[in-house]
Amino acid sequence: MPVNKLSPLFSNSETIKCLYYNKVATSTEVSNLTGKSIPHVIKVLGELTKAGYVTVNGYASSSGGRKPLVYSLVADSHYILSVAMDQFSAQMVIVDMNNAFVTDTERYEFPINELTPDALIAYINEFLEKKEIARETIIGVGLTMPGFIDTEQNVNYTYSSIAGESLVGYIQQQISIPVFLENDSTAIAIAEQKFGVAAHIKNVMVLNLGWGIGLGMILNDQLFTGNNGLAGEFSHIPLFKNGKLCTCGKHGCLETEASLIAVTANARQGIKEGLTTSLANYPEINADIIIAEAIKGDVFSVKLISEAAYHVGQGLAILIHLMNPGAIVLSGKGSMVGKLWLAPIQQAINEHCIPRLTQFTEFKISDLNTRAQLIGGAALVVENFGKALEEKLNSIEAVT
C-alpha cells in the first residue's frame, strides 16, 4: 500500500485514535481529547472526510444554539489483523476501523515453543487467503504473544526468536504489512483501558488469567512496561517453597500453583486419585473444560479454581502494598468463571494486606473475556499510527 495513500492517517493520527476509541465525537470533543484547537480539528476532520476516512454521523444534541456535527471513522476504509497467541494456539481476526470483528475468529493449535517464524507467517498467509478482504486494505498486524518481549528491539526473547534479526522485521518483510509486537498481558491491559472496565481509572493492575498469570499496568493513565518492555512478570513472583519447577527455570513461582497449567495438572491428579467429579467423564482434560464445569457447579472444578484464586490473592497483596491501585481487573481466559475468583482472592487479601490499603482498591471482572487480547492487538496498531507506521511501511516498500 503506497505511503501517499495513507498520509492523512499518518499526519492526523491523534484524531484517528480519538475517533477509534470513542466511536463518535464532535469537533469540540476531539479538541478536548487531543489538546488541539477547534479550528485545527475542524480542518483535520474536513481533510479526513474528503480522503474517505471519516464520515459525518448527524448532529449531537444541544441545550441551545446550533447543534454540532458528530464524526466517526469509515469502518471499511481500512482493516487491522489481530494475531493473539498463547502457549498452545493463536487466534486471528480482522477488525475494522470501528473496532468491530468483521471475520470469524480462527484458531490454530500448536505448542508455542515449537513455533518457528516461518510457520507463523504461513498461518497468517493462510488466514488472509481465506478472507474476502484485500491485503492492501490492511494497515497493520497487531501480534501479541507471551514471553519476554523487548518492544524497543522488536524481539521475543522467549519464543519464535531469530538469531541476530528482529522478529517484527522478518515477518513484515514476508507478508508486506507493518507488524507491531507486544506482550499478551500488556495488550489485554490496553484493551481494558480503551474499551473495558478499566476505562477512566487512573491506576489499574490488569491480570491476564491464562496459562500463566500475566500483568498489565496502567499508572497515571499511561501504560507502564518498564525500561525494556519487560515489566509485569507477575507469574514469576517467588511465593512458594514447593520445589516445583516453573517454566522460567526457577522454583516456587506463583505460576506453579495458580496458573491454568497448574490447575489442569491438579485436575488430572485428582481424577487419577478417583475423586468424584464430572471432569472424569472427559477423555482428556484442559483448562476450557475445567472452567466450563466450574461454571456448571462441579464441586471439584470450583475447588480447583478457588485454590488458584487464593494464591493469586496472595500475589495481589504484594502488588497492593507496592502500587496502591485504584482497581484490579481480572481478564483473560480464566476470567470466564467470573465471580468464582472473587471470594478466595478477597480472603487472601484480607489475610495478607493492611486494611487501610485495601479499602482504596476495587476488584472488577472483565466483560471482554477471551476477546480482550484480540481487541488489544488491534488497538496496538492504532497506537502506532503516525511516524512508526510510516517508517515500517517505507521499509517494506524499499525491499518489495
Q: pLDDT tens digit string along 334-368?
A: 888 888 899 999 999 999 999 998 888 999 999 99
% residues pLDDT > 70 (the chain): 92
- The hierarchical CATH code for the domain 79-187+373-398 is 3.30.420.40
Q: What is the pLDDT of residue 163?
A: 67
Q: What is the pLDDT of residue 212?
A: 87
Q: Whole-prediction pTM value? A: 0.91
Fold category of 3-73 in CATH? Arc Repressor Mutant, subunit A (1.10.10)
CATH topology agreement for domains 79-187+373-398 and 199-367: yes
% residues pLDDT > 90 (the chain): 69
3-state secondary structure the chain: CCHHHHHHHHHCHHHHHHHHHHCCEEHHHHHHHHCCCHHHHHHHHHHHHHHCCEEEEEECCCCCCCCCEEEEECCCCCEEEEEEECCCEEEEEEEECCCCECCCCEEEECCHHHCCHHHHHHHHHHHHHHCCCCHHHEEEEEEEECCCEECCCCEECCCCCECCECHHHHHHHHHCCCEEEEEHHHHHHHHHHHHCCCCCCCCEEEEEECCCEEEEEEECCEEECCCCCCCCCHHHCECCCCCCECCCCCECECHHHHCHHHHHHHHHHHHHCCCCCHHHHCCCCCHHHHHHHHHHCCHHHHHHHHHHHHHHHHHHHHHHHHHCCCEEEEECHHHHHHHHHHHHHHHHHHHHCCHHHHCCCEEEECCCHHHHHHHHHHHHHHHCCCHHHHHHHHHHHHHC
**Is pLDDT above 70 for 230?**
yes
* Sequence spans of domains, the chain: 3-73, 79-187+373-398, 199-367
Q: pLDDT tens digit string along 70-84?
A: 999 999 999 999 999
Domain 199-367 CATH (choose: 3.30.1360.170, 3.40.50.2300, 3.40.50.720, 3.30.420.40): 3.30.420.40
